[in-house]
């Protein structure tokens, strides 16, 4: 598994433990195998996380995410009111295009999905809310990254990408601009076999209109 490294090693290790149990509950032995840490280190980290409510033990002794994440998640969600404002526009975008729609905001050198509505098709793009993705691959990242693509976005209002972040997937994105600043990116994504290799030509206008509506609603609500 990939480990995100910062300047605080113990925090990095703790987050590796959290990430390991995010998918499913794990015993201590399974945690050791999943993280690659020693048994003593894994036990110490898990115990500390449990003490802070970030992990808990099930009846069979396996570690799973703790209840503290429920309150943290609610607090984090409340910190992104733009997601609630954007949801109706994303739903209309999915109804119009038939493809999945997402709203991303920049978070350091990455982008985070703060709202997501899935396509009704069985074969569809799935980006879960809370997913952290790169800025350097995919149309949504390009919109938030800006700089070299700013002229393209200003000219047509959108930018697209084909098989950049994931093989077989294409997307088109448009910036949500409030008071002259790009605060988010609206994206439509789907399988290349349906959305084509020029997704901007197909859905660019719809995505642009959705981004404009979200920006207008955000300004109206003083966000």
The whole model's pTM is what? 0.69
Sign of CA dihedral 14, 20, 25, 28: negative
Which pLDDT tens digit goes with each residue over 39-74?
999 999 999 999 999 999 999 999 998 888 776 666
- Which among 80, 120, 128 has a CA at the least distance from the CA of 102? 128
Question: With contact defined as beta carbons under 8 Å apart, do 206 and 188 qualify?
Answer: yes
Average pLDDT in the 99-120 region?
A: 91
Give all domains of the chain, ordered by start, each with its CATH number. 9-73 (1.10.10.10), 79-220 (3.30.450.40)
The alpha-helical segments, DSSP class H, found in 68-198 are 68-78, 81-97, 139-145, 150-156, 192-195
What pLDDT, on the 0 to 100 scale, is given for residue 77? 59
Which pLDDT tens digit goes with each residue over 120-155?
999 998 898 888 888 888 999 989 987 545 666 667
Q: Tell me the C-alpha distance between 10 and 78, whole Å.
A: 28
Tokens of 62: 């396996």
pLDDT band at 23 (very low <50, low <70, confident <90, very high): confident
């Amino acid at each position: 598994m990939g480990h995100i490294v910062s300047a605080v090693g113990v925090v990095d290790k703790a987050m590796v433990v959290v990430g390991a149990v995010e998918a499913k509950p794990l015993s201590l032995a399974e945690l050791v195998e999943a993280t690659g840490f020693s048994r003593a280190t894994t036990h110490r980290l898990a115990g500390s996380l449990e003490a802070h409510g970030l992990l808990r033990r099930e009846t069979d002794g396996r570690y799973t995410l703790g209840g503290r994440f429920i309150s943290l998640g609610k607090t984090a969600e409340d910190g992104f009111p733009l997601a609630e404002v954007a949801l109706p526009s994303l739903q209309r975008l999915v109804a119009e295009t038939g493809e999945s729609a997402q709203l991303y905001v920049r978070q350091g050198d990455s982008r985070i999905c703060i709202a997501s509505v899935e396509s009704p098709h069985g074969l569809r793009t799935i980006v879960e809310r809370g997913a952290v993705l790169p800025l350097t691959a995919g149309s949504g990242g390009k919109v938030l990254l800006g700089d070299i693509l700013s002229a393209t976005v200003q000219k047509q209002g959108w930018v697209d990408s084909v098989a950049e972040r994931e093989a077989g997937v294409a997307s088109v994105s448009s910036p949500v601009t409030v008071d002259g600043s790009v605060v988010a990116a609206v994206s439509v994504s789907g399988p290349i076999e349906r959305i084509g290799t020029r997704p901007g030509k197909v859905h660019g206008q719809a995505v642009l209109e959705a981004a404009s509506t979200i920006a207008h609603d955000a300004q109206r609500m003083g966000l």
